Amino acid sequence: MIKGIGSRRVEITDDEFEYYKELVKRYDDDTRSGSVHFNNLFETDDNGIITMIKPEKEIPWLVLFFIQNLMINQRIREFGARVDKAIKKLGQ
């Protein structure tokens, strides 16, 4: 699913989004506006896939690790979808 994180559209699972909300609560006073730590932290493509992480200010390590993990998970999901498609194509 696509959700808004740090003023970006991000492809994220329900579990990952719940953890994101926990991080926002832990590190930010104003959870209504999202996390100041996630703003301008990364770039995404039109499909919500993180293409670059670019911390421009100090951020908590947990926030950085979460974004890196999310980026890796997105790549694994994309790869898995490609493999499934190739296997189905071979089976025809």
Instruction: For residue range 47-82, list pLDDT tens digits in order.
Output: 999 999 999 888 899 999 999 999 999 999 999 999
- Domains of the chain by residue range: 2-91
The pLDDT of residue 87: 92
Q: What is the mean pLDDT of residues 14-26?
A: 93
Q: What element of type H or E holds 82?
A: helix 61-91
Position 27 scores a pLDDT of: 84
pLDDT reading at 28 higher than 80: no
pLDDT the model gives residue 91: 81
CA 88/CA 92 separation, integer angstroms: 7
Position 14, amino acid: D
| CB distance 24 to 61 below 8 Å | no
